[in-house]
Amino acid sequence: MSAKTESQNKVLDFTRAIEIAESEFGSKGPVIRVLQAIQAEYGFIPPEFLPEMADILEVPLARIFGALTFYSQFYTSPRGKYVVKVCVGTACHVQGSKDILERMKTELQVGAGETTEDMMFTLEPVACIGSCGLAPLCLINTETAASVTPAKMAEKVHAIREREATTVAEE
Amino acid sequence: MAEKNMAGEKSGDKAGGSTAVMDAPAAASGQLLSVMPKRYVPWPEDSDKPRIWIGMGTCGTAAGAEALKTEILAWLKEHSLEAEVYPTGCVGMCHNEPLVDVQVKGRPRVSYKKVSSKNLAQILKEHLVDGAASKRAAFGQLVNPDEKQEPYEGIPNFHDEPFFKQQVKIVMQRCGVIDYWSIDDYLATGGYEGLKRAVTMPPDEIIDEVKKSGLRGRGGAGFPTGMKWRFARDAEGTPKYMVCNADEGDPGAFMDRAVLEGDPHSLLEGMIIGAFAVGAKYGYIYCRAEYPLAIKILTRALEQARERGFLGENILGTGFSYDIVIKEGAGAYVCGEEMALLNSIMGERGMPVIKPPFPATRGVWGKPTNINNVETFANIAEIVKNGGDWYAKWGSATTKGTKTFALTGKVKRPGLVEVPAGTTIRALVEEIGGGMTLKKVGFKAAQFGGPSGGCLPEQFMETGIDYESLNTGGAIMGSGGVVVMDEYNCMVDTARFFMEFTVDESCGKCTPCRDGTALMLQILERITHGEGQLEDIPKLEQISGFTKANSLCGLGQVAPNPVLTTLRYFKDEVVEHIVDKKCRAHSCDELIEYVVMEDKCTTCGLCKPPCPTDALEWEKKQVAFINHETCIRCKACVMACPFMAIK
């Protein structure tokens, strides 16, 4: 996967990223804001852009890297087309979210936080989405699946795989 | 104590609870009311169109409200009917989502529960075409005493249902009632009256009222809000900042989200009053990124407040100026700690620092800063409007007013409930929550206060919940998450679960928290894997004490709580894991031995094919048998058995 990631990064055009960073030059506490904007634009934060960002903002690279690695919502590599978030908050935990996460790991053949080789799925355990009354729950991109079971989630993943397979075949 | 308050609330209900009752004269005349009126959206004068509200907070949407909205619009079009369709926030009944409320002119609003595409058409037809309410699907009706409304027969009163009867809604008063995009709905339900009153008062007097109310920080630590404001007002330096902590990170707590989504202006009003009281010029709302809908709704609310002159330059023509910026978090639990939060606002890693100086003297950008939690701010407008004594009527000796709890876990009716402080755990779990989900599986513990809280066992059922009683028991109020556990929940695993969370979220700055939590997790994992030793118990106690005493910020200081309460109340279970290698809750995978219960097995054989290691032995017409030598405890057979004969 890493080879693929690198090749994808190489073709990235940093024009927008440079614009974002330049627009925040001199503003108060810009680091997180710029990282968020870059991630919104590219889907992740390309690490090779960070030295340039440091130059533009006139902020030490270490501080940018520090903030980047501190927060769980910043990603340094591209993510799958479908991000499967399994809530492992307390309410979901007592309702058996552990089994769901395990099932997803075997189903997708990835570990927590990883992306499948075909760049289709990213599996991500998250702590509390704030809908604990409907526990256990999962998110597939922005769509919420409430009161799920391991089997139900596996079905959903299968359905997406089939749908994707047919669209590829049609193309 | 709680009962006394409850009685007051009940009689208040009967008295009518019209909005008129609570308006200013009551407090001014010195007559104190322990009545919190229910909120109703008045019927608009210029419209005859039926009104439909769809519960479209995050949890409503999760339950399928978006699809329902499409179907409702399609149904209306098909029947050539016109109606106003509004989104509304969470009323707290997570167990009955999705919720749809329907009202026609001259009749009460009726709330329908668990609406699906199966019964939607029937409900709309009965209500909008036949002119009757659909009894089967109705949860209850909301009869507004201020309007002439002919109630429906055979439909219970919404507020008399067991889930709501004991609740006193101050923070959540408009959640699930008003259209969350509408400032007009907010104004029509008593909104910004607190601010209008506040700007006529000397700031010191506002702080005195808040002091008198006894309001304490609802973020968890319970520091008196009035005192905090006093420090910020007296601090030297300008400009001052009034900041809201909306980084609701405790898993299992979502009351702040309900307010942010369902009643954003109540937060803004509280912040603006606070800013006026302490003399702040700027403000931030630090909201976690996991709440995208809340951020959208808040952004709109800020624009509206500016348009109407409640926010920005020269507020209400008084010359006082204050404005708010939303800061989106980037995913770090420790940012709920105030100094970490301020560092994150300034674009840095969210790490706590040694206090003092406190934020009141040196906060964001080095200026005096006051930080309160969402729920705290949401109380302010009512306190200013009705007076501090009015608010202090509710609650226990040390904790005044109401507290919102996110009641989840193994209860029949999970949801958000707002009750006077001092309400017993039993009332919360049994009367409001409707008791345990599974009839035959009993209550084991109630977990209070999120990952830094503790598990309180059955013996605490009659305890009135307030900051002090929870602390005595070894738990904390925290943000108000209550997760109810039954006999299927393993307490050692629960402690391990919370410790895993803390290890993940410890920022790593101070050694006691970073290493103490990691060591405790190692030990707990060992125990749940069946490799524990008896010496582990005193070891855990020792590390807990050290971490508590020496950590830099709140996160580490309370992180050992789940371990300590488990050792205090559930020592038998820990010892059982260590000595007998048994997990009575059947939760720790490596300590489970699955067996087939002969009396339940129908000899169907469905359990055999899924077994990946052929550990399950079965012949036709024979009770299945599990070979423990080869069983890998994958649970495949348990899941496959339709008769629950494998345990």
Write the pLDDT tens digit of every residue in A124-150.
998 888 888 888 999 898 888 888 999
Q: Among partner residues B59, B64, B291, which is closest to A133 by beta-carbon distance?
A: B59
**Per-residue pLDDT, B209:** 97
Q: Do A91 and B414 touch (CB under 8 A)?
A: yes
Cα B547 to Cα A146, B472, B506, B555: the distances in Å are 37, 19, 12, 10
How confident is the prediction for chain B on average, in pLDDT? 91
Residues B456 and B420: their CA atoms lie apart, in Å, by 20
- Kindly list the residues from chain A whose CB atom is less than 8 angstroms away from the CB atom of residue B330: 32, 35-36, 67, 71-74
The dihedral formed by the CA atoms of A85, A91, A97 and A101, expressed in degrees to the nearest 10: 30
Q: Is the pLDDT score of B10 beyond 60? A: no
Interface of A with B in 42-101 (CB under 8 A): 63, 66-67, 70-74, 88-95, 99
Q: Which residue has the tokens 């769809």?
A: B54
C-alpha span between B503 and B268 (Å, rounded): 34
Dihedral angle at the C-alpha atoms of B128, B132, B136, B137, nearest 10 degrees? 30
Predicted local distance difference test score (pLDDT) of residue A171: 65
pLDDT tens sequence across B489-508: 999 999 999 999 999 999 99
Check whether B26 has a pLDDT greater than 50: no
**A90 → closest Cβ in B252, B504, B639:** B252
**Residue B563: HSE in the Cβ half-sphere, 13 Å Cα cutoff:** 33
A63 contacts B330? CB cut-off 8 A:
no
Query: B 499-518 residues with CB below 8 A of A?
Result: 501, 504-505, 507
Residues from chain A that touch B252, judged by Cβ atoms under 8 A, are 89-91, 128, 132
Find the distance separating the first CA and the last CA of chain A, reported in whole Å.
Answer: 24
Give the residue from chain A lying closest to B451, CA to CA.
Answer: A90
Q: pLDDT tens across B314-373, in order?
A: 999 999 999 999 999 998 999 999 999 999 999 999 999 998 999 999 999 999 999 999
| Shortest Cα–Cα distance, B549 to chain A (Å) | 25
Confidence band for B250, pLDDT divided at 50, 70 and 90: confident
Q: In terms of pLDDT, which residue wins out, B264 or A133?
A: B264
- By percentage, how much of chain B surpasses pLDDT 90? 79
pLDDT at A10: 55
Choose among B78, B76, B83: nearest CA to B51: B83
Say if CB B253 and CB B481 are below 8 A apart.
Answer: yes
Which positions 402-421 of B are in contact with A (Cβ < 8 Å)?
Answer: 406, 408-410, 414-416
DSSP lists the bridge partners of residue B120 as: none
Q: In b/e form, how buried is each residue of B125-150, taking b as 16+ CB within 10 angstroms? A: ebbbeeeebbeebbbbbbbbbeeebe
CB B335 within 8 A of CB B350: yes
Q: Which helix (H) or strand (E) holds A86?
A: strand A82-87
pLDDT digits (tens, 9 = 90+) for B283-298: 999 999 889 899 999 9
Residue of chain A nearest B486, judged by CA positions: A94
CA angle at B499 for the pair B493 and B501, rounded to the nearest 5°: 105
Q: Select from B56, B254, B337 the residue whose CB has the most chain A CBs within 10 Å, as the one to mutate to test that interface.
A: B254
Consecutive H or E run containing A139: strand A138-140
Give yes or no for a contact between A134 and B62, defined as CB atoms under 8 angstroms apart. yes
Q: pLDDT tens for residues B479-491? A: 899 999 999 899 9
| Residue B220 near residue B476 (C-beta atoms within 8 A) | yes
Residues in chain B within 8 Å Cβ distance of A88: 251
Residue B11 to chain A, least CA–CA distance (Å):
30
Size of interface A-B (CB pairs under 8 A): 141
B131-140, long-range: CB within 8 Å, 24+ apart, which pairs? B131/B104, B133/B102, B137/B112, B137/B113, B138/B110, B138/B111, B138/B112, B138/B113, B139/B93, B139/B96, B139/B99, B139/B111, B139/B112, B139/B113, B140/B110, B140/B111
Mean pLDDT, range B521-537, rounded to an integer = 96
Q: Is the pLDDT of residue B56 over 80?
A: yes
* pLDDT band, residue B592 (cuts 50/70/90): confident
Contact between chains at B349 and A67 (C-beta distance less than 8 A): yes
* B387-401 residue pLDDT tens: 999 999 999 999 999
Instruction: Report the C-alpha gap between B291 and B575 in whole angstroms.
Output: 41
B298 touching A (Cβ < 8 Å): no
For residue B275, the one-letter residue type is A
Report the pLDDT value the prediction gives residue B621, as an integer from 0 to 100: 86
Query: How many angstroms separate the CA atoms of A70 and B70, rounded?
Result: 41
Contact B423, B402 (CB under 8 A): no
Nearest to B414 among A127, A133, A145 (CB): A133
Q: Give the CA distances from residue B222 to residues A7, B68, B173, in Å, rounded to whole numbers and listed in that order.
A: 53, 40, 22
* Spatial contact of B21 and B35, defined as CB atoms under 8 Å apart: yes
C-beta neighbour count of A121 within 10 angstroms: 26
Query: Are the CB atoms for B350 and B357 separated by under 8 Å?
Result: no
What six digits make up the tokens of B79?
């029947």
Q: What's the gap in Å between the CA of B195 and the closest CA on chain A?
A: 30
| 3-class SS of residue B504 | helix
Residues of B in contact with A134 (CB under 8 A): 59, 62-63, 94, 97
Is A66 close to B485, i.e. CB distance below 8 A?
no
For residue A39, list chain B residues with Cβ-Cβ distance below 8 A.
none
Cβ atoms of B38 and B433 closer than 8 Å: no
What residues of B are in contact with residue A36 (Cβ under 8 Å)? 328, 330
Residues of B in contact with A130 (CB under 8 A): 58-59, 248, 253-254, 257, 290-291
- Beta-carbon separation of B251 and A73 below 8 A: no
Listed in sequence order, the DSSP H helices in B326-454 are 338-345, 374-386, 388-392, 425-426
Q: What is the DSSP string of B57-124?
A: SHHHHHTTHHHHHHHHHHHHHHTT---EEEEE---S-GGG-S-EEEE-TTS-EEEE-S--TTTHHHHH
pLDDT tens string B372-383: 999 999 999 999
* Residue B439 in tokens: 């009839």
- pLDDT on residue B593: 79
CB contact under 8 A, B251 and A90: yes
Q: Is the pLDDT of residue B55 over 70?
A: yes
Identify the residue with better confidence: B586 or B53: B53
Give 3-state DSSP helix, strand, coil % of chain A, rounded to 5.
55, 10, 35
Q: State whether residue A54 is helix, strand or coil.
A: helix
pLDDT score at B44: 92
Contacts of A91 (CB under 8 A, 6+ apart): A128, A132, A133, A135, A136, B251, B252, B408, B409, B414, B481, B483
A51: preceding bond cis by omega (within 30 degrees): no
Contact yes or no for B457/B569 (Cβ under 8 A): yes
- Please write the tens of the pLDDT for every residue from B77-115: 999 999 999 999 999 998 999 999 999 999 999 999 999
First to last CA, chain B: 44
Alpha helices in B178-263 (DSSP H): 183-188, 193-198, 203-213, 225-234, 255-262
Q: Do A90 and B97 touch (CB under 8 A)?
A: no
pTM for the model? 0.89
CB contact under 8 A, A28 and B62: no
- What per-residue string of b and e applies to B311-342 under the rule 16 or more CB within 10 Å gives b? beeebbeeebebbbebbbbbbbbbbbbbbbbb
Tokens of B510: 């101070």
CB A66 to CB B481 under 8 A? no
User: Which SS3 state, helix, strand or coil, does residue B371 take?
Assistant: strand
Two tokens at B642? 């339709």
Residues of A in contact with B289 (CB under 8 A): 73
- Lowest-pLDDT range of B68-77, B538-547, B589-598: B589-598
Confidence of residue B644 (pLDDT cuts 50, 70, 90): confident
- Residue B3: band (very low, low, confident or very high) from pLDDT cuts 50, 70, 90: very low
For B344, name the nearest residue in chain A, comparing CA atoms only. Answer: A32
Comparing CB atoms, the residue among A30, A91, A99 nearest residue B483 is A91
Residue type, A88: V
Low-confidence ranges of chain A (pLDDT < 50): 1-7, 9
Contact flag A71-B639 (C-beta cutoff 8 Å): no
State the nearest Cα–Cα gap between B550 and chain A, in angstroms: 23
Cβ of A129 within 8 Å of Cβ of B451? The answer is: no
E-strand stretches of B426-547: 443-448, 454-457, 481-486
Residue B377: closest CA among B314, B285, B480, B307: B285
Is the pLDDT at B23 greater than 60? The verdict is no
The three-state secondary structure class of A101 is helix
A71, A129, A133 member nearest B415 (Cβ): A133
Q: How far is B482 from chain A (nearest CA, A)?
A: 9
Residue B512 clears pLDDT 50, i.e. is over it: yes
What average pLDDT does this structure show over B11-38?
45
Which chain A residue has its CA at the smallest distance from B60's CA? Answer: A131
